A and B are shown apart, each in its own frame.
Chain A
C-alpha cells in the first residue's frame, strides 16, 4: 500500500429520502486529508441543519480514524442541539467502537488570567530585587558554612583532602596557564599600541610604559584572570556539583554523615584561592611582556629602555595591589559556583540555568569587588 493509494478525499453527498434527508459519507475520513476533512465535517451540519431527520450513511467510508470519528460526532452533537434527529446507518463494527470512544466532549478553552502590563513589570522588578537580596543572604550563609567547615578541618588536619586539592590546583591552575598567558600577552600588546598611538599626539609616548605597568599590575592582570577563571573553572564547578546533585550523589554523602563542604567544596574553593594569585602573577608577566614587544616594534622603545622606564614607574606595592585581590576574587568565584551548583534542581534545564547564572554572577561580583578594592586602596593611600 503506497501513500498515493491512501488518498481518497472525504466527501458528503446529500440524497433526499422519504423520511427526511440522507447524507452519504465516502472516502477516507482520516487526518491525512487535513483541512478537507474539517470542511467536510462542518458540511454535514450545513447540509442537514434545516431538516427534521437525518440519516448518516457510513457504508462508503473506506477509512476512519479518531479525527474523522471525532468530527462526525461533533456534527451529530451540533445537529442534536438544533433539534435534528440523527441516525447512523451501516456502521462497521470496528467503526462503532471508534465512534463510541470519540463521543463529543464540550471543549472549554481555559481562560487565562489577564494582568496589566505595568503591574506585571513592577511585580517582576520587585521580585527580582527580593530574589537578589535573598541570594545575597544565602551567599552570606554559605560563606559562614564554608568558614566553619574550614575551621573544623584546621582543627582536624587529617580530615583534609590533600589529593583532591592537588587535583583541583592542576585542573584550575595548571591547565589554565596557556590561555591566560595568551590573552594577557594580547591585552598587554593592545594597551601598549593604544598608549603609544594616543600619547604620540602629545609627544608623550614614553609614558606608555608607566601606563602599561600601572594598569596591568593594579587592575588588568587580576581582572582578566578572574573573569577567565570564572568562565572556565567556575562553570565547571557548578556543572560538576550540579550533576552530582541531580544524581543524588550529594544526598548519598549526607546520609553517610559526610559534609559536602568538607569533601567537595573545600578542595575546590581552596584550589581556586591558591591558583588564582599564581595565575595573576603569570598574567602580569605575560601582559608586561606583550606590552614590551609592541613598545619595541611599534614604538621603538628598546627592552632596556622599557625596563628602566618601568622601574621608575612602578613600585612593589603596585604589584601587590593586584596580587592581594586575587585570593578574594577566587573565594567569590568558588563560593558562587558551589552555591549555584548545589541549588540545581532535578532537571537538565535547571543545570544549564545554574551554570549560566553562576558565570554571570561571578563575573559581576568580580567587577564589583574590584571597584570596592579601588575605593579601599584609594582611601588607605596605597
Chain B
C-alpha cells in the first residue's frame, strides 16, 4: 500500500520530538529457570502502528503480557503513558488500564454475554451511562469495525472467526482507548479477511488517533499498516525502525525472515510498487 510509506518515513524523521507512549528498559521476564525476555529495550511513539515480529518462542507474547502486567517481570521497567505501573496505587493503575484496549489472539469474548453486552461491559463497569447511549455506542463501535447490527445480539459461539476478531476489537475500543494492543489480529483469517482487517486497523488508527502495538506473523500486515517494525530474537529487540531499515539489515534472522522463500516473494512485489518513495532509512537505534 503506497499510502503507508509516507507516514513510515516521517515517523522516523520526527522521532526525537515525539511522545513516547510505552517505554521498556532492560526488561527481563522469565518462567521457572527459563529467561525469555533478556534485557529488552523498546519505545512506542504516540500515534504510530508498531508491528512486533519474531520467531515462535522468542517472547512476543511474553513481552505483550509483561507490558500489560499479566506476567510479572524480573527486572527492568515498563512505563506506559509515562507512568511506571508497578509504582502506581491500585486506583491509578485501574485508571491507566482504562486507557488501553487489548485484542487477544482468540478474541477472549465473554462467552456468556452477547456481542453487545461484551462491548458494553467496560462502559457499564467504569462509566455512568444511560442504556440508550450504551446501545448507541455499541452499535457505533460495531459499525466502526465493520460488523452488521445483526451481530449485536448474537453470542460469541454463533460468530465466525473473523467476526469474533472484529467483535473483540469493538470491545477493545469500547472506552475509546489511546493505545490498542493487538495479538496476532490476522491469524486464522483468510487472505481477504486479513487484508480487510489490516485496512480496518489503518482506518481506525487514523480516525481515532490510536497508537497500535501489534504482534504479528503476517508479512502483509507489516507492509500495509505498520509505521515501524520491531524484531525480537534471543529475548531482545534486534532491530526496530521503518520496514525498509529492517529489509536492508544484515542480521541473519531478519534476512531469513524477510528474504526467505515467502518473504522475498512479497518483498519483491512490494518494493517494485513503492520504488519511487523508497529512500535510505536512518540506522536503527
Cα distance A299–B123 in the bound complex, in angstroms: 67
The answer to whether B81 and A67 have CB atoms under 8 Å apart is: no
Chain A residues with CB below 8 A from B123, complex form: 31
With both beta carbons as reference points, the residue of chain A lying nearest to B133 in the complex is identified as A38
The answer to whether B128 and A35 have CB atoms under 8 Å apart is: yes
Given A97-B206, A98-B207, A67-B144 contact (CB < 8 Å): no
Please tell me if B143 contacts chain A, counting CB pairs below 8 Å.
yes
The answer to whether B144 and A66 have CB atoms under 8 Å apart is: yes
Chain B residues with CB below 8 A from A67, complex form: 133, 137, 176
Chain A residues with CB below 8 A from B208, complex form: 65-66, 98
Residue of A31, A34, A65, A70 near B136 (CB, 8 A) is A70
Chain A's interface: helix, strand, loop or mixed, by majority?
helix
Please tell me if A268 contacts chain B, counting CB pairs below 8 Å.
no
Residue of A97, A98, A105, A110 near B143 (CB, 8 A) is A105
Please tell me if A76 contacts chain B, counting CB pairs below 8 Å.
no
Chain A residues with CB below 8 A from B130, complex form: 38
The answer to whether B207 and A74 have CB atoms under 8 Å apart is: no
Cα distance A347–B164 in the bound complex, in angstroms: 14
Residue of B83, B139, B173 near A105 (CB, 8 A) is B139
Count of CB-CB pairs between chains A and B under 8 Å: 61
The answer to whether B209 and A3 have CB atoms under 8 Å apart is: no
Chain B residues with CB below 8 A from A1, complex form: 81-82
Please tell me if B261 contacts chain A, counting CB pairs below 8 Å.
no
Please tell me if A135 contacts chain B, counting CB pairs below 8 Å.
no
The answer to whether A74 and B135 have CB atoms under 8 Å apart is: no
The answer to whether A70 and B129 have CB atoms under 8 Å apart is: no
Given A94-B209, A97-B207, A101-B207, A35-B139 contact (CB < 8 Å): no
With both beta carbons as reference points, the residue of chain B lying nearest to A108 in the complex is identified as B149
Please tell me if B95 contacts chain A, counting CB pairs below 8 Å.
yes
Cα distance A3–B129 in the bound complex, in angstroms: 20
* 23 contacts across the A-B interface (CB closer than 8 A): A2-B83, A3-B95, A31-B123, A31-B129, A34-B129, A38-B130, A38-B133, A65-B176, A66-B137, A66-B140, A66-B141, A66-B173, A66-B208, A67-B137, A70-B137, A98-B207, A105-B136, A105-B143, A107-B139, A109-B135, A110-B152, A347-B111, A349-B111
By a beta-carbon cutoff of 8 Å, the part of chain B in contact with chain A is 81-83, 92, 95-96, 111, 123, 127-130, 132-133, 135-137, 139-141, 143-144, 152-153, 157, 173, 175-176, 206-209
By a beta-carbon cutoff of 8 Å, the part of chain A in contact with chain B is 1-3, 30-32, 34-35, 38, 65-67, 70-71, 74, 94, 97-98, 101-102, 105, 107, 109-110, 347, 349
For the complex of A and B, 7 pairs with smallest distance between CB atoms: A65-B176, A34-B128, A34-B127, A35-B128, A3-B95, A97-B207, A101-B207
If A66-B141, A98-B207, A107-B132 are given as contacts, then 10 extra A-B residue pairs at C-beta distance below 8 Å, sorted by A number, are: A31-B123, A34-B127, A66-B144, A67-B137, A97-B206, A102-B140, A105-B140, A107-B136, A107-B139, A347-B157
